[in-house]
Amino acid sequence: MKTNTYKVALITGGNRGLGLQTARELGRLGIITILGVRDPKKGKAAAAELKTEGFHAEAVRLDVADLSTHAEAGDHIEKHYGKLDILINNAGVWKESATAGSYAPDSNTSTVPMEILRETFETNFFGTVALTQRLLPLIHKAPAGRIVNVSSILGSLTLHSDPASPIYSHKVFAYDASKTALNAFTVHLAYELRNTPIKVNSAHPGWVKTEMGGEGANLDISEGSKTSAMLATLPDDGPTGGYFHLGQKLPW
């Protein structure tokens, strides 16, 4: 049943980790959360978990890298809600080695296989752009749409090129480059939508203890989800076209 009374959010990769915790953050604000998931069984279980906590949640089949699932998700939102207030492009992949994943100082730029680059960009960039384009008409139907692209500080070219930067030696080429490209999408889409109520921003969650981040990370999931939740619920005078971590601007 369509409703314009409550805000509706779609979170890709929403059945675990940061996506699921972000759904909790939004659920506490009374926002209906739709979990975009590749595995409907896991999505149903995650939505049921949120419901037991008192939140309004459901799951839809959505593989960001599989464009055939984008229309299915969009049609579901159109049929049941008629609009989309919040899109959080949270789904992402890290295809490089475990050594690189632990932030080893050695760079793999000259040896990273082309298939790793392509697979990483398919989810982290191309699929994310395609999904956003597919859902933008529904976001326009909301009073004040919010688009959050979950990036990473590792997408910052400014910090990567500064020897004094804390990430200077942490170069994982395919992942980093895909997040740099995602940041470019944020800047360009925010400019296109600058005269509308829609706000578009990039979020750096931090180094979070998730399956991707590993146990060595310094932030719990509850802390890592805060930036996405804040950008998803910005007031009318909030920023657009920015790159943030816990309210602080990051350099591109």
pLDDT tens, residue by residue, 4-56: 578 999 999 999 888 999 999 999 999 999 999 999 999 999 999 999 999 99
- Looking at residue 103, its pLDDT comes to 47
Higher pLDDT, residue 1 or 219 = 219
Kindly tell me if the per-residue pLDDT of 115 is higher than 60. yes
Higher pLDDT, residue 234 or 2 = 234
- Looking at residue 224, its pLDDT comes to 73
Q: How far is CA 72 from the centre of its chain?
A: 19
- Looking at residue 1, its pLDDT comes to 46
Mean pLDDT, rounded, for 144-158? 97
Order of strands, sheet of 57-61, starting from the edge strand that comes earlier in the sequence: 57-61, 32-37, 8-12, 86-89, 146-150, 199-203, 243-245, 248-249
Tokens of 213: 């981040």
Catalytic residue ranges = 175
- Looking at residue 102, its pLDDT comes to 44
Kindly tell me if the per-residue pLDDT of 100 is higher than 50. no
3-class secondary structure per residue, 47-109: HHHHHHCCCCEEEEECCCCCCHHHHHHHHHHHHHCCCCCEEEECCCCCCCCHHHHCCCCCCCC
Higher pLDDT, residue 96 or 187 = 187
Q: With 0-12 CB in 10 A as exposed, 13-18 as middle and 19+ as buried, what is 178?
A: buried
- Looking at residue 252, its pLDDT comes to 97
| Phi-psi group of 82: left, alpha or beta (phi > 0 → left; psi -120 to 50 → alpha; rest → beta) | left
Q: Which CATH superfamily is 8-245 part of?
A: NAD(P)-binding Rossmann-like Domain (3.40.50.720)
- Looking at residue 113, its pLDDT comes to 92
Write the DSSP string, 140-204: HTSSS-EEEEE--GGG-HHHHT-TTSTTTT---HHHHHHHHHHHHHHHHHHHHTTTSS-EEEEE-
- Looking at residue 185, its pLDDT comes to 98
Q: Band the pLDDT of 206: cuts 50, 70, 90.
A: confident
% of the chain with per-residue pLDDT over 70: 88
pTM assigned to the model = 0.92
- Looking at residue 219, its pLDDT comes to 55
